[in-house]
Structures are given as structure tokens and as C-alpha cells.
Amino acid sequence: MPQIAQIADTYSSQIFWLLLTFGFVFFVIGLGMVPKVQGTADARDAKISGDLDAAKAAFARADEAEADYRVRDAQNRTAAQAVVAKAKSEAAKASEVKLAAADAEVASKIAAAEARIQAASTAALAEIETVAVDAARDMVARISGVETSDDAARNAVKAALAHG
């Protein structure tokens, strides 16, 4: 086995060259280059996770904005409905007032017309009385030749009208 047979001749050379080559590997590659390689990989990992976090945050913000929008939309809807209801009730009130005013006018006109009719019918009745008194005096004068006084004739007519 050369590993044992040659050990006395070769151990110093083996150790020397191993320390030299491994020293180069450790100091130049391990300490000099590997941290940079690993640093690049770590920076990339950090960037990826940072980007992912940013994307998640953006998603959360978008959700928040949507929820906010929904709330405002609902608020606007209720506000609009309130405005519509208010307008409706106001319009109803206004038309009620107008209707009442028109009713009052119509009623006053009717009342005036009724008063006029009353007046006209009273006047007509009075005229009928006068005409009847004249007619009664004429009839009395023609039948009996007696000139009746105006008052007597009037009383007789009034009594007849009241009975009749």
C-alpha cells in the first residue's frame, strides 16, 4: 500500500502542497470570491422577497380602495335616494298647497255665485210680489171696482204666498 509504504518519503511534500493549494482555495476562492457570489444570490433573494412584499401590499391597497369605493358608492346611493324622496315629498307638498289654494278659490267663486243666485232669486221673488200686488189690485178693481190700498193688497199677497 503506497499510502503507508511511501509515507516517510512523501508526508512532507503532501502536507506542504495540500496546505499551499488548500490555502489558495480558502483565501482566494473561499474568502475572496464566495462571499461575493453568495452576496449576489442573497441580494437577489432579498429583491424577490421585497418585490413580493410590495406586490402583496399593492394588492392589499387595491382591496382597501375597492372596499372604500363600495362604501362610498353605498353612501352615495342612500344620499341620492334621500334627495329623491325629499324632492318627491316637497313636490307633493307644493302640489297639495296649490290644490288647496285652487280649492279655496273655486270655493270662494262658488260661494260668490251662490250669493249672486240667492240675490237674484230674492230680487225675482220681490218682483213677483210687486207684480202679484199689482195684479191683485187690478183683479179687485175689475171685479168689485174698489180701489184697494197698496198695503192691503200687499198683506193679502204675502199671506197667500206664505200659504201657497
Query: Interface with other proteins includes 9 (CB under 8 A)?
Result: yes
Query: Interface with other proteins includes 37 (CB under 8 A)?
Result: yes
Residue with cell 329623491: 84
Dist CA 99 CA 11 (whole Å): 124
For other proteins (CB under 8 A), the number of binding residues is 37
Q: Which stretch binds other proteins (CB under 8 A): 3-11, 67-75, 85-93, 109-117?
A: 3-11
- Closest distance between other proteins and the C-beta of residue 49, in Å? 14
With respect to other proteins, which residue has the nearer C-beta, 23 or 124? 23
DSSP tag of 146: -
Is residue 157 within 8 Å of residue 129, measured between CB atoms? yes
Is residue 133 within 8 Å of residue 150, measured between CB atoms? yes
Residue with cell 210680489: 129
What SS3 class is residue 147? coil
Query: Interface with other proteins includes 49 (CB under 8 A)?
Result: no
Query: Interface with other proteins includes 29 (CB under 8 A)?
Result: yes
With respect to other proteins, which residue has the nearer C-beta, 6 or 95? 6
Dist CA 89 CA 96 (whole Å): 10
Residue 160: closest CA among 123, 124, 135: 135
Query: Interface with other proteins includes 70 (CB under 8 A)?
Result: no
**Which one of residues 46, 47, 78, 113 is an interface residue with other proteins (CB under 8 A)?**
47
Where on the chain is the footprint of other proteins (CB under 8 A)? 1-3, 6-7, 9-22, 24-26, 28-31, 33-38, 40-41, 43-44, 47
